[in-house]
A = this chain, B = another copy of it.
């Protein structure tokens, strides 16, 4: 995704393609780490010294409202953001904190008790121990 492509995408949604907005969106599209607002702020601060935290929060809200980004509330303390907007599940490792996406068939799941409600968002979050941490655990135990 080049700078210009993203600028065009923002314009399409009637969002003024400011430098900050484009850089934040670009960052979110290039990583799979589901960063927090704070992480995004620090990551970009080195390249955009004048960047303000408010801008990060405002932009994330704007991008979320436009559907270009998704908010993910998995952790206790901070909201995370995801550049992948297609429906998918999240798996968070309770040991290392990593969050990974996984494909999930959300249609296969609900039994009709929600009749009468209009469902707009569907979130699936699994938590446990990831492959790497499991491997490490085994290594520890076999010592």
Cross-chain contact B126 with A122 (CB below 8 angstroms): yes
Cross-chain contact B117 with A131 (CB below 8 angstroms): yes
A contact residues, range: 35 or more
Cross-chain contact B76 with A79 (CB below 8 angstroms): yes
Quickly give the copy total for this chain: 2
Residues of chain B with a CB closer than 8 A to A131's CB: 116-117
Q: Is A67 an interface residue (CB 8 A)?
A: no
Q: Is A114 an interface residue (CB 8 A)?
A: yes
Q: Is A27 an interface residue (CB 8 A)?
A: no
Partner of A75, one of B71, B75, B106, B118: B71
Residues of chain B with a CB closer than 8 A to A127's CB: 119-123
